[in-house]
Each structure stands twice: as C-alpha cells, then as structure tokens.
Amino acid sequence: VSKIERRSPSSSTSSSSSSSLSSSSSRSGRERRVGFGRMRLRPCFAGAAPLEDVATKEGYPDTRGSEQVYFYKYQGLGNDFIMVDNRHTSDPIFSSEEAVALCDRRFGIGGDGIIFLMSPPSTSDGNSGGGEEGGSDGNGVQYDYAMRMYNSDGTEPEMCGNGIRCLARFVAELEEHSVPRSYKFHTLAGLIIPEVNPNGLVSVDMGEPRIEPKEIPTTLEATGENEEYSNAVVLQELEVGGDLEAVPDAEEMFATYEERMENTIKRRTKGELKERWLVTCVSMGNPHAVTFGRPGAETLGGTLDVDNLDVDYYGPLFETHKAFPEKINAHFCRAIYDTPESLDDLTDAVKVLHWERGAGKTLACGTGACSVVVAGVLEGRLKEKCLVYVPGGPLQIEWRRTKDNHVIMTGPAQLVYKGLIPV
C-alpha cells in the first residue's frame, strides 16, 4: 500500500483560488466558515507519484486550533467519499449542514458522503471518544477505530459498505501499516472488520444479514416463500406509485369519454400510475429492498431491463414508501444467465442499479450488493458466491450461509487526491 504523504497545512498559503464556498455554523460561541479559496488539489491516478504539498515536508497537521483541515478523497467503484481524520475529538468536526456543502459537486469538493475516522469507543459509554487506539465497548469488543459519516443530503447512515473499504485503505496509508492487515471498526451498525490486501482490494466481513420484518424495519409481512427462512420478507408484493391501476377496472371502462381520457392522461404522468413490484427485504445494518421485477411471467433472471430502467423515477418512490418507516435503499436487479429463460440452474452473476437512501443514484453500494446476493439466494436465483456488476464495476460477494452466516464483500478502494479545507 502506497503511503499518504503527511504535510503541514501552512504550505497552502502559497496558493489561492478565485472560487469559494462558505457554510457557517456556531462552534464554541464563534462563527466558523468552510471555504475552498485556499484549497490545493493534485490528482492521483494509477501509476502517478504520491501526493505532495509543494512547499513543505513537515509532519501531519494537528487540526486542533488549526485554521485548515486536511481531507482525502477516496473512491470505491465510483462511490466517492471525503475522508477526515477526526480522532482528536469525540464529535465530527463538520456539521451535517457543512457536509451537504462539502459534498456538493459544483460548489464543494463533491462526494456521496463525508466519513470521519474516529477514535474507538470508550469502555464506559460505547461512544467514540478522543482516547487512545484500542478502545472497547460495554460488550468487551476491542475496537481499533470508529466510523461516523454523513450522506450527501446531511443524513447519518448506520454504515456504508464502500465507505468502510475506503476508510480501511485510508487508515492503512495514513498510518503506513504493512498489509495484509485487518481492523475492527465500531459503526452505528455494530462491529465491522475490513482487511486491506496487498493487491489493493479490501475484503470486509459485513456480519450476518437480518431478514425479519422488524429487523429491516418494514411493515411488509413475512411471506413464507422460502421454507428455510419462513420469517423473511421474500417476494412480497409492493404497490408503488399513485392511486390508478395499470389496467382500467370495469367501472372505469363504462365511464364517460372525458373521464376515461382524463385517467389515460394521468396514467402517463409519472407518479400517478400504481405499479406492483416483488421485493425481498434485507438489513446489513441498514435497510434494503431488492427487486428482480414485477409479478407475472417469471424467469430466474427476473423481468427487469436494468439497462433502460428509469432509476431516477422509481428510486424515490421506493425510498420514501410508507412500508419503510426509516426509508429504504432500493436495488433493481437482473441475474445474468447464458439462457435467460432457464428455470433449471442458479447463476453467480447479477447486474444491479442502486438508489441509496440519502444519496440517490450511485455507481456502487457495498451493503446493497451484499443484500442483493442474500435476496437472490432467498429467492432461489443466485449462488451464495457471486460477482455483482454495478455501474462502477464488479464486487465479489459471498454469503457464507452454512459456515458462519456472515457476508464477505471484496472490492477496490483508491485515493484520488487530497487537499485543505479552510475553517
């Protein structure tokens, strides 16, 4: 793993930019401004020289009392995050409102979220604190670090699969650790253990999937479609959209011409048409709804044309559906078969489009990819070890169902650039 060059913030005074963005919040009785007028960026691509601050080779800055904070931009299959070393204080140094400004792709750094590397929780309260590495919680788990994050809309998720891969790579490079090396992270979803490999990939033990309705959570009922997991929400029908049925009922067929034309127009207006979908719900510490299509002529591959699906339309309808009290991450899938009409065999490949709660359409979603494989196994479509093809590239997911019931995710994480945020 190539190390991150540690530099002093003082060097940024030699450069300025004409554009700036500010977001203010009250901190300790004084106003704080987040701007980008003095931020220095250098791109980092495969094979490029390590990032360097051009004016100095001093040590990594302590942000306490500093007027500038280092950030590091990482991406995993196009799912990109702003990383901040936040171990010196128990609370994220940026508010949710500031996170929205920083994640703005036109007026900020840009990203699907901002992730804070925190000190591990203290033994007394289980919360992230400013203590030394190697803290533990009330259950006796010895954590190395903790993770907090905000989505690009300012909401705080329980965890992020691609984000935890990037965070593990960030730690390995920041601390110049030799690899392979694993870390125990405290997250709002519980213990997560990623391992940074010498080939640049990061494998993450995502723990056990949760499949009962109250664990998602969802008001949808268990279906009993999978006899082994009879308490799971598998292939449950979900009505999405407005109040109009896709096909007129008998009463409407005999309505006046004007009424029938009005309803026809409404059906062509997005959001007015009621559509039925088949969903399987999984929690990987955060809630997911997975669909391979609508009721009707089924194949193992599903019925969705994911290459032409309007995710920007359907995604919000799923995310905010009343069946999901904490909202939902939605995933639209098609299993890949040599013979798509086959009903005789399982496959180890699936193509997915993601809509993430709080971030919208993304190029990759780690917990989402895990939930897709779990759902595909529950529905009898997929093998327990699969390649999940997302818009940003492939992720390898394995549900070790008969071994320890844990889900293992393996994929890339890469430093893109670093810079300074004046505060």
For residue 414, CA distances in Å to 106, 108, 160, 200 come to 22, 20, 16, 8
- Which one is catalytic: 44, 333, 365, 386? 365
Q: Which two tokens stand for residue 81?
A: 């995050």
The reply to whether 44 belongs to the active site is: no
Contact in structure between 157 and 368 (CB atoms under 8 Å): no
The reply to whether 103 belongs to the active site is: no
- The Cα diameter of the chain in Å comes to 81
- Which one is catalytic: 160, 166, 370, 386? 160
Task: Give CA–CA dist 29/158, Å, rounded.
Answer: 30
Q: Which residues sit opposite 409 in a β-bridge? A: 204, 397
In the block, tokens 């401004």 appear at 33
Phi, psi of 81, rounded to the nearest 5 degrees: -140, 150
Let me know if 18 is exposed, middle or buried by CB neighbors in 10 A (0-12, 13-18, 19+). Answer: exposed
Q: Which 3-state string (H, E, C) describes the chain?
A: CCCCCCCCHHHHHHCCCCCCCCCEEEECCEEEECCCCCCCCCCCCCCCCCCCCCCCCCCCCCCCCCCEEEEEEEEECCEEEEEEECCCCCCCCCCHHHHHHHHCCCCCCCCCEEEEEECCECCCCCCECCCCCCCECCCCCECCEEEEEEECCCCCCCCCHHHHHHHHHHHHHHCCCCCCEECCEEECCEEEEEEECCCCEEEEECCCCECCHHHCCCCCCCCCCCCCCCCCCCCEEEEECCCECCCCCHHHHCCCHHHHHHHHHHHCCCCCECEEEEEEEEECCCEEEEEEECCCCCCCCCCCCCCCCCHHHHHHHHHCCCCCCCCCEEEEEEECCCCCCCCCCCEEEEEEEEEECCCEEECCCHHHHHHHHHHHHHCCCEEEEEEEEECCEEEEEEEECCCCCEEEEEEECEEEEEEEEEC
Active centre residues (catalytic): 160, 365
